[in-house]
């Protein structure tokens, strides 16, 4: 038994994969080290339990649609302009980021361990947001980015996690220490949103929080008061700062706001790519090169790296074939969890559904989140942890 006992091995896998989630934005190198260790330990775990390994039904379902997605994306890696670019990028974007999901789904079953993983990550995310707040108020930068280098990465995580924090705080299924960590993170996100100044995180959280809270607040008057008071306080706080009012109002500015105009230009260019390459797109990993060479509009002077929209980016890069595969895979996850939640009203299916909808489909309207390595691995971390709690 010793260090190789199943319980101890499961604990080490949980520690490594949680450290990956916590460090992936702070240090990509450290995150990768923890990730590789977790994968190697999980391979040993699976081999050790090869005769009695429990494979959850959701893993079997999603594996089929995941394989179909890969099959439909593969032509965009090998049949377009440069296979030397397309194939490695296919592996990096569509294969390397999902093992975190299978590591948790196949190797971690203890409910207390799963709850502890969530609590540790939430505490870490709270600190991440306080760093973003400090970066802004100290004058280090106009928009704080937290642990990572991109201001939009932490914004996307805010949009994914804040509604989940609300569900955890409103549902009795979660233990007190997980609720405490979610409350800590939610409070810190308030400071993080102030420092990050992402219009998308402000707008989408104002929409998503009431939606996901509705099934709970309708049952309890106290929850109604608490949610309305919290939202009212946030809105009042921002409304007292003229610079933030102006930034929020700029969301609808389609004439002078450079960020908005740049997005419109790049969306137009990506759609033009799709018109010229409708089936497989210009090729995985080749969007920016071809954009700069042939499709960038003269008015787009920011030289953007991507289309700032998951689905417009996919249209240009992988065409209808690849886009169909992506929609089938993530759509199957959303539909499956909605069906379970509708029947049982369990919070885990709701949180799993929120993770995919908010990160891929909601914030994915203003950012190419599918290409963000740390963000996608955190999304799979949340998805698998919630589904394991549901399966238990």
The full DSSP string for 238-291 is HHT-HHHHHHHHGGG--SS-HHHHHHHHHHHHHHHHHHHSTTT-S-TT-HHHHI
CA distance 161 to 145: 16
Is residue 136 assigned to a domain? Answer: yes
What distance in Å separates the CA atoms of residue 341 and residue 334, rounded to the nearest whole number?
10
Domain-located, residue 9: no
Residue 53 lies in a domain: no
Tokens of residue 188, six digits: 């810190």
Q: Which pair of structure tokens corresponds to residue 325?
A: 């595969």
Could you identify the residue written with the tokens 């921002």?
238
CA distance 86 to 347: 39
Length in residues, the chain: 392
| Cβ-proximal residues to 193 (8 Å cutoff; 6+ apart), any chain | 129, 158, 201, 202, 205
Our CA dihedral for 151, 154, 157, 158, rounded to 10 degrees, sits at -90
| Residue at 293 is within a domain | no
Ordered per-residue pLDDT tens for the chain, 392 residues: 444 566 799 999 999 999 999 999 999 999 999 999 999 999 999 999 999 999 999 999 999 999 999 999 999 999 887 899 999 999 999 999 999 999 999 999 999 999 999 999 999 999 999 999 999 999 999 999 999 878 999 999 999 999 999 999 999 999 999 999 999 999 999 899 989 988 888 889 888 988 888 888 777 666 556 656 666 666 666 566 665 555 445 455 455 545 677 788 999 999 999 999 999 999 999 999 999 999 999 988 888 889 999 999 999 999 999 999 999 999 999 999 999 999 999 999 999 999 999 999 999 999 999 999 999 999 999 999 999 999 98
- Closest listed residue to residue 159, CA positions, set 24, 359, 361: 359
Integer Cα distance of 380 and 365 in angstroms: 19
Backbone torsions φ then ψ of 90, nearest 5 degrees: -60, -45
Diameter over CA atoms, the chain: 68
Range of the domain at 126: 62-254+303-391
Q: SS3 of 105, please? A: helix
Residues 6+ apart with CB under 8 A from 354: 160, 163, 164, 167, 208, 212
Query: Does any domain span residue 81?
Result: yes
| Residue 329 domain-assigned (yes or no) | yes
Cβ–Cβ under 8 Å, residues 77 and 95: no
SS3 172: coil
Name the DSSP letter for residue 138.
Answer: T
Q: Judge contact between 13 and 108, C-beta under 8 A.
A: yes
Q: 11: closest CA among 36, 50, 35, 42?
A: 42
Residue 28 inside a domain? The answer is no
Asked if residue 335 is part of any domain, the answer here is: yes
Burial of 335 per CB tally in 10 Å (0-12, 13-18, 19+): exposed
As for how many domains the chain has, the answer is 1
């Amino acid at each position: 038994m010793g260090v190789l006992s199943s319980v101890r091995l499961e604990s080490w896998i949980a520690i490594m994969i949680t450290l990956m989630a916590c460090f992936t934005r702070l240090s990509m190198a450290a995150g990768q080290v923890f990730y590789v260790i977790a994968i190697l330990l999980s391979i040993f775990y699976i081999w050790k339990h090869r005769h009695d390994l429990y494979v959850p039904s959701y893993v079997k379902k999603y594996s089929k649609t995941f394989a179909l997605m890969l099959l439909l994306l593969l032509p965009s890696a090998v049949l377009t302009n440069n296979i030397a670019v397309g194939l490695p990028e296919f592996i990096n974007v569509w294969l390397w980021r999902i093992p975190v999901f299978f590591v948790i789904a196949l190797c971690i079953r203890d409910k207390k361990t799963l709850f502890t993983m969530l609590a540790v990550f939430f505490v870490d995310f709270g600190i991440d947001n306080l760093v973003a707040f400090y970066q802004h108020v100290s004058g280090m930068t106009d928009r704080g980015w937290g642990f990572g280098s991109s201001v939009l990465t932490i914004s996307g995580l805010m949009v994914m996690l804040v509604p989940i924090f609300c569900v955890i705080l409103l549902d009795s299924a979660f233990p007190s220490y997980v609720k405490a960590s979610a409350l800590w993170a939610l409070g810190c996100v308030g400071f993080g949103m102030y420092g990050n100044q992402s219009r998308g995180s402000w707008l989408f959280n104002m929409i998503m929080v009431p939606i996901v809270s509705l099934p709970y607040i309708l049952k309890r008057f106290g929850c109604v008061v608490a949610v309305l008071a919290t939202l009212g306080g946030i809105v009042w706080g921002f409304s007292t700062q003229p610079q933030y009012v102006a930034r929020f109002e700029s969301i609808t500015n389609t004439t002078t706001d450079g960020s908005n105009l740049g997005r419109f230009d790049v969306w137009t260019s990506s759609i033009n790519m799709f018109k010229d390459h409708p089936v497989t797109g210009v090729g995985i990993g080749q969007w920016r090169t071809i954009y700069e060479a042939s499709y960038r509009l003269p008015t787009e002077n920011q030289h953007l790296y991507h289309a700032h929209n998951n689905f417009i980016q996919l249209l240009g890069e992988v065409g209808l074939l690849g886009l169909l595969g992506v929609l089938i895979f993530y759509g199957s996850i959303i539909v499956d969890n909605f069906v379970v939640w509708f029947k049982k009203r369990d919070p885990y299916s709701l949180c799993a559904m929120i993770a995919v909808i908010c990160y891929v489909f909601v914030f994915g309207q203003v950012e190419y989140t599918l290409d963000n390595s740390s963000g996608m691995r955190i999304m799979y971390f949340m998805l698998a942890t919630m589904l394991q709690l549901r399966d238990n």
